[in-house]
Amino acid sequence: MVPVMWSRLALVAISAVAFIGGAPAVAGHGAAVTGPGVVFSVFEGLPPSGACPGLYVAEERTRRITWLGGWDEQREDSAVYPSFTSRGTLSYGHWVDPSASVPLVDVYAGGRRVARPAFARWAWSPRREELAYGRVSADGRRLELVLTTTGGATRVLAPSIGIPPVWLPDGSGLVYVRRRGSVDVITFVSRDGRRRRDLARNGGEPVVSPDGRRVAFLRTVSKPSEKSVVEVWVVPTGGGRARKVVGPVPRLGLRLATWLSKRELLLQRGRESDSIFNAGETLNRLDVDTLRERPFLKRAFALSVSPDRKRLLFVRSHTAAGETYYSVRTVDVTGRNGRLLGVVDEEDLNIGSRPVWKPPAATVDWVGDAPPAPRQQCERRLTAARDATP
């Protein structure tokens, strides 16, 4: 059996989704959306006014919300995991089989399926039209790391993988987690699969710096449990000695968020742990060279930095009518000029379907079937839910 770390994700996959076949997606239902913004999924209805399931884009300048599609009317199921290829083509996934031992998806890009099945979540190369993802090996005993081009060519990069793989910014290779005996190992593999090197033992949740030179990761220093103690370490991607920069601290009070710059790391801190992110809602900036840590944002869960490195994408938790949902927001890396762009249901984040930046040059059109309600009604509902959010 494949060891699965995402028990919550697997449970949601088994209990909440329907079987999706391999029919190609249909594009071209409406006018394309241009300009910078954020794309996100709506997996279920949203409080307080509800919203149509599907993919949406919120333009950052105007805050206008547009329904992008991703809905499959016959199966009454919606696309998840929005992302973009190196050429700016919108990509997303559809669930394959909820009865599988691991949550598997079909990956689409440019209106066609490019991978089936893939372990949810995958990563497009920042430089080439190549998709890195985990899939179940032919013997069904493990997850292997593979690389697929949009043309259909596929090769195995590594025989064992943790989820998800992380590309180096120049697209020369990936960092992933593999199991060696009873220990998780942070490992680098080149994009052609010919070079591999272990970077650090007893490590997980790797995050690559924007210059590609360093990897931050968590190291557990006590037996895994709700009271686990962890440390933050940084290691060169080229190989070398790892260095501790934070800890030891309680596991529930710490999460690696993202790199803000090539030397500043964003950490999720806080005494109370959010059930979706398994960390507190306070963001701190850590200079990994000087070890200086200072506050950045409160009530925020960081997702990613914009392609120009000037804005941060994050979400904030809210409760309405007894239901939890999250607002989608952006802010300057200086902490100023915050914007509320949209809202997503907690189940979107629960299954790992997170909002992503839309590249400024990317043009997105509608994909899939017509919306489950008039498009304008879908957009008005979601806009109303956003505007009612404090």
pLDDT at 5: 33
Asked whether the beta carbons of 90 and 367 are under 8 A apart, the reply is yes
pLDDT at 270: 83
Beta-strand ranges (E) seen in 110-167 are: 112-119, 123-124, 130-136, 143-149, 154-158, 166-167
If one compares 222 and 60, the residue with the highest pLDDT of the two is: 60
Per-residue pLDDT at 21 exceeds 80: no
Per-residue pLDDT at 242 exceeds 80: yes
Residues 6+ apart with CB under 8 A from 309: 210, 261, 333
If one compares 220 and 190, the residue with the highest pLDDT of the two is: 190
User: pLDDT band at residue 317, thresholds of 50, 70 and 90?
Assistant: very high
Give 363-376 pLDDT, tens digit per residue: 787 788 888 788 88
| Number of Cβ within a 10 Å radius of residue 83 | 20
pLDDT at 99: 60
Token digits of residue 331: 């802010």
User: What residues does each domain of the chain span?
Assistant: 7-137+252-384
Per-residue pLDDT at 18 exceeds 60: no
Report the alpha-carbon distance of residue 105 to residue 208 in Å, rounded. 25
Report the alpha-carbon distance of residue 139 to residue 267 in Å, rounded. 39
pLDDT at 4: 33
Q: Answer whether the bond into residue 307 is a cis peptide, omega within 30°.
A: no
If one compares 15 and 308, the residue with the highest pLDDT of the two is: 308
| Number of Cβ within a 10 Å radius of residue 115 | 22
pLDDT, mean over the chain = 84
Residues 6+ apart with CB under 8 A from 233: 200, 203, 216, 217, 218, 219, 242, 243, 244, 245
Asked whether the beta carbons of 90 and 81 are under 8 A apart, the reply is no
Give the mean model confidence (pLDDT) for residues 178-193.
89
Helix, strand, coil in percent for the chain, rounding step 5 = 10, 45, 45
Most confident of 276-280, 373-377, 381-385: 381-385
| Number of Cβ within a 10 Å radius of residue 145 | 24
| Number of Cβ within a 10 Å radius of residue 225 | 9
Per-residue pLDDT at 47 exceeds 60: no
If one compares 66 and 249, the residue with the highest pLDDT of the two is: 66
pLDDT at 362: 86
Per-residue pLDDT at 170 exceeds 70: yes
Give the mean model confidence (pLDDT) for residues 297-326.
93
Per-residue pLDDT at 11 exceeds 60: no
Taking the CA of residue 187 as centre, how many other CA atoms within 13 Å lie in the half-sphere pointing to its CB? Answer: 24
pLDDT at 151: 81
pLDDT at 27: 44
**H-assigned helices in 164-291:** none
